[in-house]
Chains A and B, each alone.
Chain A
Amino acid sequence: MELLANILISAMIAATPLVLAATGELVAERSGVLNLGVEGMMIIGAIAGFAALLASGSVLVGLLAAMLGGALMAFLFGVLTLTFRANQVASGLALTMFGLGLSALWGQGYSGRSAPPFPRLSIPGLSDLPILGRLVFGQDGLVYLSLALVAAVAYVLARTRAGLVLRAVGENHHAAHAIGYSVVGVRYLAVMFGGAMAGLGGAYLSLVQTPLWVERMTAGRGWIALALVVFAAWRPWRALLGAYLFGLITILQLHSQALGLEVDAQLLSMVPYLATIVVLVLISRDSARARLAAPACLGKSFHASS
């Protein structure tokens, strides 16, 4: 039972950066923007958060810096794709390459240094309960924050006026423009929100999970977050479910090594990537449904007069 609790707890920790990044990207995509630069925004968040934490000694400052870093990267992407109407796929790739390079340059003096341990929730009595205690009441603050984020995004998208406007922009930007909404403005906000969340997800890696700065430490998680949005059919709660499934797969892969299964470590490391492919195939196989779920204007650039 202790092992089960450990597996579940570490699965949640492995999943949290994915939850954050995927939820942010989901909002951007619901507004009609496909930002393939999640990996680049995450890694900038990771180094920005780490550097700010070491400089200030404050976890809060670190997290804010990570969000700011991710949002600035997303702003760059917005300038390219929304103002200059560049191809979104190519711009996203550029953002990822630039982010990986810049973070390595910036993090040159930080490798090998470690961050202070991240505070965990501790409620006397409750947190000491067997199994459930640590699982429900003993996680770090960002785990709870990520859950609250999913709930908030789900609520805003489905039940508020702002969410309706965002979805309208993503489904039919000409109609939204005709009613008088600023398509580009809404998309800037959505993309920057996505960037801030990706940055936060990156900071989770460098401040909580490891807590170290390592070059290229995101290792493809940004891309997995992108796949999760497709898996989720652009719905927040399903993104959470997908991320947790993923966390579980990752941790089972790690534990199978600990349990002494005779499989090559490098072959096991392929599992999350292969699982992503399998899931993508299962989701997109029904092409009519996949097309209905995707925002109709996803990836299209908008010009008012055309």
Chain B
Amino acid sequence: MLKLEPRREPSALMFYVTPFLAIALTLAAGLLLFRILGKPPVAAMQLIFIEPLRSLRGVSELLVKATPLILIACGLALGFRANVWNIGAEGQFAAGALSGGAVALAVYPATGWWLLPLMSLAGIAGGAAWAAIPALLRTRYNTSEILVSLMLAYVAVLLLGSLVHGALRDPDGMNFPESRLFQTALPVMIPGTRAHVGFLVALAVAGAAWLLLERHMAGFQIKVLGQAPRAARFGGFSEKRLIWACFLVSGGAAGLAGLFEAAGPVGQLVPALPAGYGFTAIIVAFLGRLHPAGIVLAGLLMALTYIGGETAQISMSLPSATTSVFQGMFLFFLLATDVLVAYRPRWIATRPARAGRPLQPPAKVEA
């Protein structure tokens, strides 16, 4: 039978191999799934994973979708490393879009070079404030941050919908539940596409996260808290301070991502703005091994499933949910193959022990 033996040291090789193994398994499972659904498997997979990369439009959309994923996942990864589970980034995304967008709408029709930085700051502040609630309840009342941050995600999305229907609705908009178009937009990187400079900001944030994790005391404390909470306590690190820091940073990053989405490709506040990036970013963080460089790659891959899903929806009438099936499978297979990092599979032949065999004398230990 197959047995799992604990390795003495986690395998560094497997640590980097398993994400690719997970991708391969997901693709195989995808082929099988399409076969069961009665769609041509190879053609469907090609449509999702290759077709978007063959046009400038596809590649630029890839950058548009990867921007929020990378931004959010970098923040979440800090928390996950410290065993702080902020899974309500979707809500912080909505809160950031809302507060940043509200700034633009409040000063309407004034505009200038100062508006976009101001909106971004408000977006960061909004996301961080929304994330402060689970941080406060966790540090003060020991309330599960998993459930609180998730419940607040539902609340934030509803709040965004309610305000866009009400106070923030475009007064000249024929009663459509939309805000005014913002008077300023994120500069576009590639002319003629929607790819905006937010992607560069996301890369910069990933770089900063790498510096923090690998080169700064706070990053070290985060890792210790996650891997050996008792050691962190003996080391005198304040667990509460770290929880607060993880939530504020990840909330701020998610808020900025929300504002970028509103001020970039969308250009206004709409109820459907939070399109699940906050949840997908959780997968991105894990698939990227909670490491900023990995997160950039994983973010691009997950963005590909979004765009491929849309392509498949249009030309093969597959539902948009195909995307989340693939995303769920990625995380599944990654978690399953991760066992290889800490354990070594070994085939052990099971033969019934023969009776009456004399006991071996213990081997002499040589001095």
**Residues of A in contact with B (beta carbons under 8 Å apart):** 36, 76, 79-80, 84-87, 89-91, 93-95, 97-105, 108, 215, 220, 223, 226-227, 230, 264, 266-267, 269-270, 273-274, 276-277, 280-281, 284-285, 287, 290, 303, 305-306
Contact = CB atoms under 8 A, between A and B. Distances in A.
A281 B319 contact: no
B141 A281 contact: yes
Given A89-B85, A93-B282, A305-B6, A102 B325 contact: yes
15 contacts: A80-B332, A90-B335, A91-B332, A91-B335, A94-B332, A105-B37, A105-B325, A220-B150, A270-B155, A273-B154, A277-B147, A277-B148, A281-B143, A285-B142, A303-B4
Contact of B336 (A79, A93, A97, A108): A79
Contacts of B152: 273, 277
B256 interface: no
Given A89-B146, A100-B321, 19 more contacts: A87-B335, A94-B283, A94-B328, A94-B331, A97-B327, A98-B324, A98-B329, A98-B331, A105-B37, A105-B319, A215-B321, A223-B147, A264-B165, A264-B166, A266-B159, A270-B154, A273-B151, A280-B137, A303-B6
Interface string B123-152: 000000000000001000111101110111
B147 A230 contact: yes
Nearest to B335: A86
A269 B151 CA distance: 12
Contacts of B283: 94, 97
Contact of B325 (A76, A89, A98, A273): A98
A86 B336 contact: yes
Contacts of A230: 144, 147
Contacts of B143: 277, 280-281, 284-285
Nearest to B37: A105
A32 to B, nearest CB: 17
B160 to A, nearest CB: 9
Nearest to A303: B6
A266 B163 CA distance: 9
Contact of A226 (B147, B329, B332): B147
Interface string B28-47: 00000000010000000000
B215 to A, nearest CB: 26
Nearest to B317: A108
B338 interface: yes
Of residues A85, A227, A273, which shows the largest number of chain B Cβ atoms within 10 Å of its Cβ?
A273
Interface residues of B, number: 48
Contacts, number: 141
A21 B144 CA distance: 19
Contacts of A36: 146
Contacts of B343: 85
B161 A90 contact: no
A165 B146 CA distance: 29
Contacts of B332: 76, 80, 91, 94-95, 98
Contacts of A274: 151, 155
Contacts of B342: 85
Given A273-B151, A290-B142, A84 B328 contact: no
Contacts of B320: 104
Nearest to B148: A277
Contacts of B323: 101
A76 B333 CA distance: 11
Contacts of B336: 79-80, 84, 86
A280 B147 contact: yes
Contacts of A93: 87, 279, 282, 331
Of residues B4, B137, B152, B155, which shows the largest number of chain A Cβ atoms within 10 Å of its Cβ?
B155
Contacts of A284: 141-144
Contacts of B322: 101, 105
Report the 8 A-B pairs with minimum CB-CB distance, sorted nearest first: A98-B328, A104-B321, A101-B324, A101-B325, A94-B331, A86-B335, A266-B162, A97-B328
Contact of B331 (A79, A90, A99, A306): A90
B271 to A, nearest CB: 9
A264 B159 CA distance: 10
B339 interface: yes
A306 B4 CA distance: 12
Contact of A280 (B148, B154, B282, B318): B148
A290 B155 CA distance: 26
B286 interface: yes
B158 interface: yes
A267 B158 contact: yes
Nearest to A103: B321
Contacts of B162: 264, 266-267
B86 to A, nearest CB: 11
A287 to B, nearest CB: 4
A93 B328 CA distance: 8
A281 B169 CA distance: 34
A303 B85 CA distance: 24
B20 to A, nearest CB: 18
Nearest to A288: B142
A184 to B, nearest CB: 12
Nearest to A86: B335
Contacts of B327: 97, 101
A80 B150 CA distance: 23
Contacts of A220: 150-151, 154
Contacts of A285: 141-143
A285 B136 CA distance: 12
Interface in B152-199: 152, 154-155, 158-159, 161-162, 165-166
A52 B168 CA distance: 45
A133 B155 CA distance: 38
Contact of B137 (A76, A264, A267, A277): A277
B172 to A, nearest CB: 22
Contacts of A303: 4, 6
B324 A104 contact: yes
